[in-house]
Amino acid sequence: MELKRERDICILAHSYMCEEICEVADFTGDSYALSVKAKNAPQSTVIMCGVRFMAETVKMLSPQKKVILANPAAGCPMAEQFDKEVIGEVKKMYPDYAVVAYVNTTAELKTIADVCVTSSSAVKICRALPDKNILFIPDINLGTYVKNQVPEKNFKLLSGGCPTHAKIEKSDVLTAKSAHPAALFLVHPECRPEVVALADYVGSTSGIMDFAEKSDGKEFIIGTENSIVQHLQFKCPEKKFYPLSKDLVCHNMKITTLPDVLSCVLGRGGEEIVMDEKLRVQAVKCIERMIELGG
Ligand code: 13P
Ligand code: SF4
């Protein structure tokens, strides 16, 4: 703690990080909250404990800062699913559609998006956009959820998605609910529509945590990465939290360890994010618009 202050370092940790990393972080949250914090953090160096697109987002918003991805191997497979050329071709097919990109995309892909969204801001931003027609990339599950919440607009969706959340099936929910009939079911919108349809609450990682903490309910089935089950159990020992499935584990998020974070603080580890200025200027526009519309 002392060391990071001496070295003017801010540690940001996505909520999927393990408890011990969250404890040393200056701020923990969902991807929207991390983007906003990144913009306002006063420190000259930011260590991002999360996946690559999150560190890229920090660099885009704070080019003057040294931004370090705590473990260089931490990527998000969804972010790599479509490249700029493919989406460029799709855009030509739908010239009158605004491109709304989930933040889980590469910096390069963001250069051709009109606005970025996160799971906690997607509905609000799609509603607030002046455009009637929306090409939502890349997550078909989040896109379907947003489309259902914003019926007044026309959506075109692609077939991308999160391999961790998308593998969960309706039968997993039915099994968990029959094992814990009194539990409320909270789910991330990256899950399939038939899974989301059975939920008592749908929201981002932070949304799920807030809901569970404030709820009068005593038992919860957690339909997102299993680290959230641990964090909630730690925060609310009087309540009970059950994983929707033992397979709800994102190995990309799990790759970062506390020793990785220490190596970064000591200046010996991680990867410094370097971004071409022209690419950054183009890509950051859709993130700034997200923050402007997302509030
Ligand atoms: P949040 O926006 O809920 O943090 O989600 C990020 C993510 O990668 C979920 O899989
Ligand atoms: Fe990417 Fe899914 Fe992991 Fe989130 S949980 S970082 S969307 S692979």
Q: Using an 8 Å Cβ cutoff, are 228 and 203 in contact?
A: no
| Atom of ligand 1 at shortest range from CA of 15 | 4
Q: Where are the alpha helices (DSSP H) in the chain?
A: 2-6, 19-24, 31-40, 52-61, 84-93, 107-110, 122-128, 140-149, 163-166, 170-179, 193-196, 205-214, 227-235, 251-254, 258-265, 277-294
CA of 16 to the centre of ligand 2 (A): 9
Q: What is the pLDDT of residue 295?
A: 78
Q: What is the pLDDT of residue 35?
A: 79
In this structure, the residue with its CA closest to atom 7 of ligand 2 is 162
Provide the pairing of β-strand 66-69 with 271-272: antiparallel
Q: Using an 8 Å Cβ cutoff, are 158 and 70 in contact?
A: no
Q: What is the pLDDT of residue 281?
A: 98
Q: What is the pLDDT of residue 129?
A: 96
CB 78 less than 6 A from any atom of ligand 2: yes
CB 228 less than 6 A from any atom of ligand 2: no
CA of 262 to the centre of ligand 2 (A): 24
Q: What is the pLDDT of residue 36?
A: 82
In this structure, the residue with its CA closest to atom 6 of ligand 2 is 76
CB 162 less than 6 A from any atom of ligand 1: yes
Q: Split the chain (295 residues) into runs of 10 and give each run's mean pLDDT.
A: 90 96 95 84 95 96 95 97 96 97 97 96 96 98 98 97 97 98 98 98 96 98 97 97 97 97 96 97 96 87
Return all residues near 107 (Cβ < 8 A) that are at least 6 apart. Answer: 53, 56, 60, 275, 279, 280, 283
